[in-house]
Structure 1
Amino acid sequence: MPTVLLTGANGFLGSHLARELLKRHYTVRTFVRPGSDSRTLMGLPLEFAEGDIRRAADVAAAARPCDYIIHAAALAQINPARSPDVWHINLNGTENVLSAADKAKVQRLVYVGTANVFGFGSQSQPGNETRPYAGYQYGLDYMDSKHAATQLVAKSTLQWGMPVVSVHPTFMLGPLDAKPTSNAMLLELYRGRVPAYTGGGKNYVHVRDVAVATVNALTQGRNGEHYILGNENLSYREAFQLMAEVMLIRPPRIRIPDWLALRYGRLCDLKTQLTGKPALVNSAMMKVAIDGHYFSVNKARQELSLPATPIRLAVQEAFNWFVEQGYLDKVP
């Protein structure tokens, strides 16, 4: 069977990608950092290749021999807003993967980006793959580095003829989020730490749908094309209401005015400067929170057979997993 090198395999999305690949009888070689937490991969029939995505030699060794690569490794850090590590992993790491893919002569590389590299829209007129990057306004190295990496991937197709399809997930929810990452919002809501909401919103998607469409991209989709992987566009008020209903708690009922959210973000920046430690949020995060990051996923539905699992089910499965794993008993 074809061998797929999967970077970031022990992450939230990577854990689902590994399972989807095995389900389709691919041989899966996972690329993970030495000593990193791989509990969500335990018991799976995987090949393990340890290394650092920032080291070209490590990536090249892992890619020999393989038929495909899915590059899902990334550092999705937004607090602090600026960090050299984000650039080293997201941009330099992608450069190393592209080089390894070229040397290994893979049949296709699937690059996992983020929908944030495209211009967002409103709920009535959502953004799509044709809209130019709008994230510069926030000052987040995560968004900027992923945009730069996406451009690098596009350049490799034009200049090298690299067989690449790029997929760009929106905000993922679902089980197996061990760290946790995006699903941490559920825990914060459940513990009563989200007393209010801002006027923005975003597109939400079940992580398993992203895994299915990403694996589909090994054989579906067009070389050099980009696909936003998402599902439901919800305001924060709508999303928190849905999450609260699933977890049987009361949702936050107070909306924070935009001006107050921005002022709070600036105060948090000041606290960070004075203490040298990241505050709960930063001004960049609050700028994001007042905007509506809504997207259309029609292209991925048509060309990558992207499923459309209801977000309510994604929330329910994520919450059930947290309960089963004892996360609700842990109060950080």
Structure 2
Amino acid sequence: MGASGFLGSHVTRQLVARGDDVRVLLRRTSSTRGIDDLDVERHYGDIVDDGAVRSAMADRDVVFYCVVDTRAMLADPAPLFSTNVDGLRRVLDHAVDADLDRFVFLSTICTIAVSPDGTPVTEADPFTLADRCGAYVRTRLAAEDLVLDAVEGRGLPGVVMCVSNTYGPGDWQPTPHGEVVARAAAGRMRFYARGAAAEVVGIEDAAAALLLAAEHGRPGERYIVSESYMSLREILCTAAQETGARPPSVAVPMAMLYAGAYAGSALKAMLPKKVTPYLDVVRLLDLTSPADHTKAERELGWHPSPTSEAIRRAARFYVSAGVPATR
């Protein structure tokens, strides 16, 4: 489920490559460029279509749930809750009855704690940003709770994969973080946020981690799927250098971004469904810390490659495919 998305398409590709019998659930309106060349069984429907979901899960051993609305900049967060929480809740009702071996759930690094002193965090560290995380992260926290509650109380063989920012070829949409890299690869990024950094991982490695979770993941466990911690400047310069583009050179202080975001907060309070939550976005850039993926290495046998290589492949893909100019 979610096979038309960036990570979902790569999971699908790897399953097909190893010879698995793959069925995908798609909306008829979804762009399927990432999987059109694959021999998969297609079922059509939405995650709120109970009949389609039951049919898609019938006789399957594993469900990879890669459905997520990542639009953290939506002025009205209602669609985020509708997809990321309410839609998932309905799918879980059917998954519990489907006699699955595993339900591999795509979550996000944003649900992992942020270290107060810069030391790497793990899956066991308690989340500490509940009052500052924004609507998108709240939906992802709620989604994880739904999955873990279904594991504990209803016997779902669910595994939660906390995946960081993914980079690599095939990002046709593109993803929000991918679009920034696409612009850098095209020489259209002049500014970057000073001090911004993020956990990152190559898309092929992230997909491989989900496949490994289906085989070795322990139900009820969370796994950090991230290779390294990179500054935004390093990410953008890596992309620009790969294509020979001019790298971004103007550093915008984080304090300036916060000032602009707070200035818009009063307007956001008056028009909550009309004004972009810039403060949430700035916090996503700022409130990060290194993460330790040792658990995924130890329990899943996951060994990622340097993400810088995936960023270079992404840069070449964006330029050759005309992304995001073709959107």
**TM-score, normalised to structure 2's length?**
0.91
> Over the residues paired in the alignment, what is the CA RMSD in angstroms?
2.4
Alignment-derived partner of residue 326 in structure 1 = 322
CA contact (8 A) 2:239 2:315 kept: no
Residue 20 of structure 1 and its aligned partner are, at CA, apart by 0.8
Alignment-derived partner of residue 160 in structure 1 = 154
Of 14, 18, 29, the residue aligned with 2:23 is 29
**Deviant stretches of 4+, over 3 Å:** 266-279
SS at match of 1:293: coil
Alignment-derived partner of residue 208 in structure 1 = 204
CA contact (8 A) 1:10 1:37 kept: yes
Of 296, 307, 310, the residue aligned with 1:311 is 307
CA contact (8 A) 2:240 2:315 kept: no
Alignment-derived partner of residue 184 in structure 1 = 179
CA contact (8 A) 1:114 1:167 kept: yes
Q: Deviations over 1:25-63 (max 9, x none)?
A: 211111111221111111210011111113333312221
Tell me whether 119-128 or 315-324 shows the greater mean CA deviation. 119-128
Unaligned runs of 5+ in 2: none
CA contact (8 A) 1:201 1:292 kept: yes
Q: Show the 5 A alignment for 1:1-332.
A: 7-80=1-74, 82-121=76-115, 125-181=119-175, 182-189=177-184, 190-268=186-264, 282-327=278-323, 330=325
The amino acid across from 2:101 in the alignment is Q
Which gives a bigger RCO, structure 1 or 2 (Cα 8 Å, sep 6+)? 2
Tell me whether 301-310 or 268-277 shows the greater mean CA deviation. 268-277
Tell me, in whole angstroms, the C-alpha distance in 2 between the residues paired with 1:39 and 1:316: 21
Tell me whether 289-298 or 204-213 shows the greater mean CA deviation. 289-298
The amino acid across from 1:266 in the alignment is Y
SS at match of 1:302: helix
Number of residue pairs aligned between Structure 1 and Structure 2: 324
SS at match of 1:165: strand
Residue 23 of structure 1 and its aligned partner are, at CA, apart by 1.6
CA contact (8 A) 1:198 1:289 kept: no
The amino acid across from 2:305 in the alignment is T
The amino acid across from 1:293 in the alignment is S
Residue 274 of structure 1 and its aligned partner are, at CA, apart by 7.7
CA contact (8 A) 1:120 1:128 kept: no
CA contact (8 A) 1:197 1:253 kept: no
**TM-score, normalised to structure 1's length?**
0.89
Residue 278 of structure 1 and its aligned partner are, at CA, apart by 5.4
SS at match of 2:281: helix
CA contact (8 A) 2:238 2:312 kept: no
Tell me, in whole angstroms, the C-alpha distance in 2 between the residues paired with 1:178 and 1:138: 31
Tell me, in whole angstroms, the C-alpha distance in 2 between the residues paired with 1:242 and 1:123: 27
The amino acid across from 2:183 in the alignment is E
SS at match of 1:105: coil
CA contact (8 A) 2:201 2:228 kept: yes
